[in-house]
């Protein structure tokens, strides 16, 4: 590295990689930490992203890159949303202007971006399992001098997978894995459970060398602990106490989430630049509270996301009837099953993508026992800038395989209220999905026929089957096609799985059926309709491709998939021309 920066050059500008950081005199590290926070506040406020978790990670990340030599040493971040400082110190400073934009810097570790990112990691509680496998591989290859470090924080230790991994890491074999516990007492919300209160004793009893607690905002103290851990032949834990949002007053004062994930905001005040409108999540939250007043048997369960899934208001209104189980979706489902067995109707609200983790429990603990549980899937379909791991595009394909489960997909917020009411009245398992988006305008039906809402009707050439939030685009496509002389009928099944007999009958009255869903096209609602209509009407399925769709705006990604009015009309024309 060159000489210390001059008056016009910041310390951060001199850091093009970890080697530069290691050569920086220790006396400059405090100033560097301040510059990093200023940089993060400016860049994340401009584009939106995970702010609070990264402000709390500045000193730990500086210490990690001074003690360990990435990428020869392996640094894993769990959860991945706390890796912004790592990205900044590994040569990606200039890319932050495109943070979470289409084609730009990912908000999570990405192997495509940098050799310093060893895993694509965004879901919680996975890093310790990766570390166990990598350390085993290093031993088999004779590369045990290459350190393996797993940074665990933001509630990741509330997940069962993390404890399965700790069990294996402490099996008595000498694998020098270093676990850095970023203990900020939180995930999205305060961390729940007995583990959070007894970490030091518990980890020592498991056989880990325990170092700490250390002030996670004291770079020298963290460095000393890490250097000690690096010399140990057995697994160790460096317990760092930090504050989420540290160094930015609006984040520290935000006692709810400490500005965990934010939209574009004013850096002076921390307030969003756009006031925004009512969202699907807000409408769900309000309606659930109203149902809770009338139904004392309703209880709510969240997996560490009471605020983002809309359950926070229910918890304030009915504090004894809302349960935060931590980042533990599997436990959430089976605990809900226990509540249902005792006469309650649980509403389990999770991100659609996180339902993937609990499929076995939905199948064999909920559906097989025909239990009255309502699963509410927030952020279904394309979510936007959080990228491939967070798009809620697999739920319809997964749930279509579950016997006895009824799945609803409201097209607008009025139908969200109606379908939630219907779902909690069903004496069996139900699921209801909606997107991460503004509430938008209501889309009234022309008529209701055989359980289907008819949204447009000008003929029987084409039946457009709109799944949930795709209805608006389907009506737009119908208007375009009708102007071209094509007879189109648009129907919204409301309850999309299993396929309603009335929909099969409606399909038989048309020359072509085109299904439109914002889920993966293989195995979803369209596939179920095609199977139900086998041997009859031709069915063309439109949906998201079976691929890992990158991050970008929801509008851009839906357009790329052809799920706009013009895209749907184009697909119908091509199919009619065959």
3-class SS of residue 433: strand
Could you give the CA distance from residue 24 to residue 383 in angstroms, rounded to a whole number? 40
> Does the active-site annotation cover 489?
no
3-class SS of residue 322: strand
| Annotated binding residues for thiamine diphosphate | 81, 122-124, 155-156, 184, 248, 329
Q: At what angle do helices 199-206 and 160-169 cross, to 10 degrees?
A: 40
Give me 463's structure tokens: 């039946």
User: Which residue, 364, 324, 345, 322, is CA-closest to 423?
Assistant: 345
> Does the active-site annotation cover 112?
no
User: Which residue, 387, 398, 389, 355, is CA-closest to 520?
Assistant: 398
Give φ, ψ of 265 to 5 degrees. -140, 165
Q: Which of 138, 357, 415, 433 is catalytic?
A: 357
CA 564 centroid distance within chain:
24
Cis, peptide link before residue 301, omega less than 30° from 0? no
Could you give the CA distance from residue 282 to residue 360 in angstroms, rounded to a whole number? 29
Could you give the CA distance from residue 326 to residue 339 in angstroms, rounded to a whole number? 17
| Annotated binding residues | 81, 122-124, 154-156, 184, 248, 329
User: Which residue, 143, 133, 152, is CA-closest to 191?
Assistant: 152
User: Which residue, 71, 8, 59, 50, is CA-closest to 32?
Assistant: 59
Pseudo-torsion of CA 155, 158, 163, 164, nearest 10°?
A: -110
User: Which residue, 143, 57, 47, is CA-closest to 96?
Assistant: 47
Number of continuous H segments (helices) and E segments (strands) in the chain: 21, 20
Could you give the CA distance from residue 487 to residue 468 in angstroms, rounded to a whole number? 22
Q: Which of 43, 244, 411, 415 is catalytic?
A: 244
> Does the active-site annotation cover 329?
yes
Please state whether 412 falls in left (phi above 0), alpha (psi between -120 and 50) or beta: beta
3-class SS of residue 167: helix
CA-based R_g, the chain, Å = 26
Cα 559 to Cα 328, 390, 521, 552, 563, distances in angstroms: 34, 18, 15, 11, 6
What is the DSSP-derived secondary structure letter of residue 334? H
Q: At what angle do helices 501-508 and 525-532 cross, to 10 degrees?
A: 70
Q: Which of 252, 312, 329, 517 is catalytic?
A: 329
Could you give the CA distance from residue 282 to residue 130 in angstroms, rounded to a whole number? 37
| Annotated binding residues for Mg(2+) | 154, 184
3-state DSSP helix/strand/coil percent for the chain, to nearest 5? 40, 20, 40
User: Which residue, 542, 453, 523, is CA-closest to 489?
Assistant: 453
Q: Which residues participate in catalysis according to the annotation?
A: 244, 329, 357
């Amino acid at each position: 590295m060159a000489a210390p920066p001059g008056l016009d050059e910041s310390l951060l500008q001199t850091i093009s990689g970890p080697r530069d950081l290691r050569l920086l005199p220790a006396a400059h590290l405090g100033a560097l930490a301040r510059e990093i926070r200023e940089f993060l506040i400016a860049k994340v406020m401009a584009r939106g992203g995970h702010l609070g978790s990264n402000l709390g990670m500045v000193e730990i990340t500086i210490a990690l890159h001074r003690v360990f030599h990435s990428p020869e040493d392996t640094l894993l971040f769990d959860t991945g949303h706390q890796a912004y400082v790592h990205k900044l110190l590994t040569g990606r400073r200039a890319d932050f202007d495109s943070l979470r934009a289409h084609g730009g810097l990912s908000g999570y570790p990405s192997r495509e971006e940098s050799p310093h990112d060893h895993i694509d990691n965004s879901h919680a509680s996975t890093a310790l399992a990766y570390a166990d496998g990598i350390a085993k591989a290093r031993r088999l290859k004779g590369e045990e001098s290459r350190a393996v470090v797993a940074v665990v924080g933001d509630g990741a230790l509330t997940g069962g997978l993390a404890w399965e991994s700790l069990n294996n890491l402490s099996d008595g074999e000498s694998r020098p894995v270093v676990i850095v516990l970023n203990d900020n007492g939180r995930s999205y919300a305060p961390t729940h459970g007995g583990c959070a209160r007894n970490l030091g004793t518990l980890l020592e009893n498991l056989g880990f060398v325990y170092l700490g607690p250390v002030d996670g905002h004291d770079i020298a103290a963290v460095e000393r602990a890490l250097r000690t851990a690096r010399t140990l032949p057995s697994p160790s834990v460096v317990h760092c106490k930090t504050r989420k949002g540290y160094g930015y007053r609006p984040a520290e004062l935000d006692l709810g989430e400490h500005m965990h994930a934010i939209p574009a905001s004013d850096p002076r005040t921390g307030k969003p630049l756009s006031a925004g409108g009512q969202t699907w999540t807000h409408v769900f939250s309000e309606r659930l509270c109203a149902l809770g007043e009338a139904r004392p048997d309703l209880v709510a369960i969240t997996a560490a996301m009471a605020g983002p899934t809309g359950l926070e208001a229910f918890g304030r209104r009915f504090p004894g009837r809302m349960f935060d189980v931590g980042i533990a979706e599997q436990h959430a489902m089976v605990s809900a099953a226990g509540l249902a067995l005792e006469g309650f109707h649980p509403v389990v609200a999770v991100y659609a993508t996180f339902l993937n983790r609990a499929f076995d429990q939905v199948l064999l603990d909920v559906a097989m026992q025909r239990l009255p549980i309502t699963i509410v899937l927030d952020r279904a379909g394309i979510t936007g800038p959080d990228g491939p791991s967070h798009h809620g595009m697999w739920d319809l394909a997964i749930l279509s395989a579950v016997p006895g489960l009824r799945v609803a997909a409201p097209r607008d917020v009025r139908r969200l209220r109606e379908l939630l009411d219907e779902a909690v009245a069903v004496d069996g398992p139900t699921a209801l999905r909606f997107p991460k988006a503004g509430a938008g305008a209501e889309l009234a039906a022309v008529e209701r026929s055989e359980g289907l809402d008819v949204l447009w009707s000008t003929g029987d050439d084409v039946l457009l089957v709109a799944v949930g939030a795709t209805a608006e685009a389907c009506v737009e496509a119908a208007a375009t096609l009708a102007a071209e002389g094509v007879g189109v009928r648009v129907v919204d099944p409301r309850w999309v799985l299993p396929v309603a007999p009335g929909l099969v009958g409606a399909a038989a009255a048309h020359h072509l059926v085109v299904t439109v869903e914002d889920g993966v096209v293989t195995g979803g609602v369209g596939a179920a309709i095609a199977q139900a209509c086998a041997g009859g009407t031709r069915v063309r399925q439109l949906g998201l491709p079976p691929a890992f769709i990158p991050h970008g705006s929801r509008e851009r990604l839906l357009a790329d998939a052809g799920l706009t009015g013009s895209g749907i009309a184009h697909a119908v024309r091509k199919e009619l021309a065959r």
